[in-house]
Amino acid sequence: MNPSLDNALEQALALAANEPAHRPAFFSLLLESTVYVLGDAGDGWIAGAARHDEEQPVNLQHWEKPDGTTAIPFFTSLAALQQTVSQAQPFLALPARTLFAMTAGAELFLNPRLPYGKAFGPDEISALMMNEGDALTERLILEGEMRITLSSPAEQPAQMIASLSRLFAEIKRVRRAFIVQVQDSAQEKPHWLIGLDCEGEDEATIQAVGRVATDTAPDGEPVDICLVGQEEPGISHYFIRHITPFYERKWGSWLRATHGPGAH
């Protein structure tokens, strides 16, 4: 087995690097994982000892990046750490949440010098901790009346649609998904609006969709998300009546399982 892919977090990192649809699962798993960081905790420290608090000071290594800035390296496993250093060095095993809390304001890099890695800037870490794994999206509620223009784009965002469709196939709660461009009077350029027809309001689903959409939007364009209801007026009515969904949940496998041998 490849020692850099020998645990669930490393496998999730590799999947997330290759397909944005897997990134929400990776961030959620990261927050619940123990990671490894080069450094020590001063007097009384035991090599490789686990730490679960962020109050006591620790001495962590900073590695220089090609642009001259520095980042704190951390690793998904001890095997991954050992691949990147040429000689034995002290290290700590820390819950990822503890590491993020004690290094607030610093840049970190997961698995540097390995085939799959991820840079974490201070703002991304802060959002990740505050939003429980949703590093890039935030909810904005608009009050009052706003005149907006909705249009079906001639050129669809292919990567976004492909990655979201793959995500929906795993989530199962999404029945249909639509995409349009939306522009209000305060904006010079339109942005993307994704409409979700879901089984109930699921915050985790909305966050996962926001994460993947943000990662795959063309040229980093902003993306909004709204819930679509069959009997709802306004935007929901426009989606249902005028826009063909780019994703629609298929029921074939469920029906075959229900009506297969032994079913009544």
Do residues 124 and 153 share a domain?
Answer: no
The pLDDT tens digits for 145-177 are: 556 677 777 788 999 999 999 999 888 888 889
CATH code at position 244? 3.30.300
Q: What is the pLDDT of residue 147?
A: 60
The pLDDT tens digits for 180-195 are: 888 776 666 788 989 8
Measure the CA–CA gap between 260 and 264, rounded to whole angstroms: 9
Do residues 48 and 124 share a domain?
Answer: yes
Q: Please give the distance of CA 36 from its chain centroid, rounded to a whole number.
A: 21
The pLDDT tens digits for 62-105 are: 998 877 889 999 999 999 999 999 888 899 999 999 999 999 89
- Establish if 139 belongs to a structural domain: no
Do residues 34 and 152 share a domain?
Answer: no
Do residues 46 and 98 share a domain?
Answer: yes
Domain residues for the domain of 93 are 3-130
Do residues 114 and 211 share a domain?
Answer: no
258 pLDDT band (50/70/90 cuts)?
very low
Count of domains observed in the chain: 2
CA quadruple 16, 17, 19, 24: dihedral sign = positive
Domain-ending residue, one of 130, 156, 185: 130
Contact between 202 and 173 (Cβ < 8 Å): yes
Burial tier of 197 (Cβ tally within 10 Å: 0-12, 13-18, 19+): buried
Measure the CA–CA gap between 27 and 134, rounded to whole angstroms: 7
The pLDDT tens digits for 189-224 are: 788 989 898 887 678 888 889 889 989 998 888 888
Do residues 195 and 247 share a domain?
Answer: yes
Residue 109 pLDDT exceeds 60: yes
